[in-house]
Amino acid sequence: MDKQSNLLIFQKPFELSSKSSALAYPNLVQEAEQVLLGSLLGDGCLIKEKYKKYKGNIRWDNVIPRYREKHCLKQEEYFLWKINILKFILRIKTYFEINMTGKGGHKTICLTSLHHPFLKNYYNLFYPNGKKVVTEEVLNKLTPLGIAIWYCDDGSYDYRIKYAKIHTNGFTYEENGLIQNWFSEKFGIECKVGRKGDRRYNKDYYQIMIPRPDKFFRLIKEYVPKCMDYKLGNDIKKRNNVEKQLKEYELKRRFLPERIKYLKQHYKDYYWKNREILTIKKKEYYEKNKEKINKKHREWRNNNREILRKYNKEYYLKNKELLNKRNREYINKNRDKLRKHWREYSRERYRKKKLFEEKYVR
């Protein structure tokens, strides 16, 4: 077994080849080319490899690519449907493999073709710099059949918000914008670019979101095989489950304000019943972790000085009259204390000044 790959089992490959020429079946060849285009935008890819049998140094441009694709076992019917069309332009081999990515791994069906010279044109279209790219030239070659295959590979239907989505994670934001404009200009289908962030890898994943998919489904419905009909929003079990979840959510949302009121009152009652115990616990916690708490407060103040100044100014300007009133009341109540404090402070200051003069000023 190859250590670099994550395979455990290889089943014996079975070969599906066709010696039929393009002249004998022109329509089938055109269909197969559209399936290949849609698959390359979706789950398919082209691979270039250098073999040991090549003698000497060969230029990378002269290496002939091959086609490769993977699907899960649930999509076996769709996988075989694809093979029956692609066999008119490619010589195909299929095999099973186990990917150790999830819990215990999962079995997938794989498809590989032999190295075909005509795949060079597709490689130059999709991989001009060695990375898969979407351009206007690629999109203009697509027909409704190619779009249907693209959607069957990377598309999904969201039963909650009733959106059709094409998951274009491998393409950049600019390329997604190009796809969005192409759909609106050519077919009049309104769509938008959705962005989803992944904190684990610090990456943004993109998807084409179609909020009103009826027009889009009319365009591709004829070309979608029966086994992939669930992607057009026709899965009754899923729809019923989502409707149940939405009803439950609506009921919770209706009673949510009452629940919040009840919880607030409950916490208030608990606090007033156990006020003494809670205050003692707070004091104990503060005495144990006094240094840490003070340190955190200082750090926060040093980092947010400007914010605090702004907040204090805004608060003072809003409540200027109230604050002045409170100050006057406090001064009138505690005049004697303040006078005493001021006298002590002035005496200490005078004493320190004298000591400084005796030491340093002569």
Angle 316-321-322 from CA coordinates, rounded to 5°:
80
Q: Output the DSSP codes for 165-202.
A: EEE-TTS-HHHHHHHHHHHHHHT----EEEEEEETTTT
Which band of pLDDT confidence, cut at 50, 70 and 90, is reported for residue 203? confident
Q: Structure pTM?
A: 0.62
pLDDT at 246: 80
Whether the CA torsion 84, 90, 95, 99 is positive or negative: it is negative
Whether the CA torsion 164, 168, 173, 175 is positive or negative: it is negative
Decide if 9 contacts 109 (C-beta within 8 A).
Answer: no
Q: Output the DSSP codes for 114-166.
A: ---TTHHHHHHHH-TTSS----HHHHHT--HHHHHHHHHHHEEEETTTTEEEE
Q: Is the pLDDT of residue 23 over 50?
A: no
Task: Give the number of C-alpha atoms closer than 13 A to the C-alpha of residue 261, restricted to the C-beta side.
Answer: 4
Per-residue model confidence as pLDDT tens digits over 30-54 = 888 999 999 999 989 998 875 544 5
| Residues near 127 by beta carbon (within 8 Å), at least 6 away in sequence | 46, 133
Q: Is the pLDDT of residue 145 over 50?
A: yes
Q: How many whole angstroms separate alpha carbon 44 and alpha carbon 67?
A: 7
Helix axes 275-288, 256-273, angle to 10 degrees: 80
Beta bridge partners of 98: 107
Per-residue model confidence as pLDDT tens digits over 64-119 = 888 999 888 888 899 889 988 888 888 888 777 766 555 556 778 888 888 888 88
Per-residue model confidence as pLDDT tens digits over 254-281 = 777 777 888 888 888 898 889 899 999 9
Q: How many whole angstroms separate alpha carbon 152 and alpha carbon 42?
A: 8
Cα dihedral value 311, 312, 313, 315, nearest 10: 80
Which band of pLDDT confidence, cut at 50, 70 and 90, is reported for residue 247? confident
In the predicted model, what is the mean pLDDT of the chain?
82
Give the least confident one: 12-16, 266-270, 332-336: 12-16
Q: Give the E-state strand segments of the chain in sequence order.
A: 14-16, 45-47, 66-72, 92-99, 106-113, 155-158, 163-167, 192-198, 203-210
Domains recognised in the chain with CATH numbers: 1-130 (no CATH), 134-254 (3.10.28.10)
- Give the single-character DSSP code of 274: S
